[in-house]
């Protein structure tokens, strides 16, 4: 049985797709600024003498501090990894294309051939019986695609994930 594209994305070709983590510097900076504002509120003149202004600054500082802390926690514990094309460092963007299950053979043939332009012209469906997941670089240098079929309560791969490098696939407008 084939593995889902999200499970094998980074192991398809180690020299092609790499994982980059979210940069925590913004979260750290926001947290430090908020903490400094909250600690300095007693010494900053309009806030030190006016209790209402002091409370507003403390509330705003707390909200900004919570935002920064959330960003840091996301970096430490969340799914903060994004796929990138290793040679250029370009981010791979995920696209989900939904088709009717009756078109499964034609859709899989187009995906295996890398003909995304023809795939784009096929009629779409509102029922998600068949999904094509495509990770592609905006420059058109690389695309990774897999067809998934909805089997009650989960999507199962119809085939293995296909890796297409520049010149081996047709670039569609959705990419």
pLDDT, position 20: 64
Tens digit of pLDDT for each residue in 91-112? 888 888 888 888 888 989 988 8
**Is residue 145 pLDDT above 70, yes or no?**
yes
Q: How far is it, in rounded angstroms, from Cα 162 to Cα 146?
A: 6
Q: How far is it, in rounded angstroms, from Cα 116 to Cα 97?
A: 11
Helices (H), the chain: 5-8, 25-40, 45-49, 51-77, 104-113, 116-121
Residue with the two structure tokens 């119809």? 158
pLDDT, position 164: 84
Judging by beta carbons within 10 Å of its beta carbon (0-12, 13-18, 19+), is residue 132 exposed, middle or buried?
buried
* Spatial CB neighbours of 19, under 8 Å, sequence gap ≥ 6: 10, 81, 82, 83, 84
What are the structure tokens assigned to 99, written together? 């088709």
Q: What is the mean pLDDT of residues 103-126?
A: 85
Which is higher by pLDDT, 130 or 4? 130
**Is residue 42 pLDDT above 80, yes or no?**
no
Average pLDDT, the chain: 82
The angle subtended at Cα 83 by Cα 81 and Cα 88, nearest 5°, is 130
Per the confidence metrics, is the pTM higher than 0.85? no
Among candidates 167, 23, 169, 165, which has minimal Cα distance to 85? 165
Judging by beta carbons within 10 Å of its beta carbon (0-12, 13-18, 19+), is residue 159 exposed, middle or buried?
middle
Tens digit of pLDDT for each residue in 64-78? 889 888 888 877 776
Beta-carbon-side half-sphere exposure of residue 36 (alpha carbons within 13 Å)? 6
């Amino acid at each position: 049985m084939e593995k889902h594209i999200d499970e094998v994305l980074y192991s398809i070709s180690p020299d092609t797709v790499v994982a980059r983590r979210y940069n925590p510097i913004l979260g750290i900076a926001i947290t430090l600024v908020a903490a400094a504002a909250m600690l300095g509120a007693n010494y900053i003149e309009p806030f030190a003498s006016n209790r209402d202004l002091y409370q507003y600054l403390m509330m705003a500082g707390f909200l900004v501090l919570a935002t920064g802390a959330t960003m840091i926690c996301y970096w430490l514990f969340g799914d903060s990894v994004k796929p990138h094309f290793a040679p250029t460092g370009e981010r791979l963007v995920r696209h989900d294309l939904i088709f009717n299950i009756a078109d499964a053979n034609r859709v899989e043939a187009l995906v295996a051939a890398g003909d995304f332009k023809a795939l784009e012209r096929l009629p779409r469906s509102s029922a998600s019986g068949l999904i094509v997941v495509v990770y592609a670089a905006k420059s058109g240098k690389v695309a990774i695609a897999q067809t998934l079929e909805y089997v009650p309560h989960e999507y199962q791969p119809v085939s293995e994930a296909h890796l297409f490098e520049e010149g081996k696939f047709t670039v569609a407008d959705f990419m």
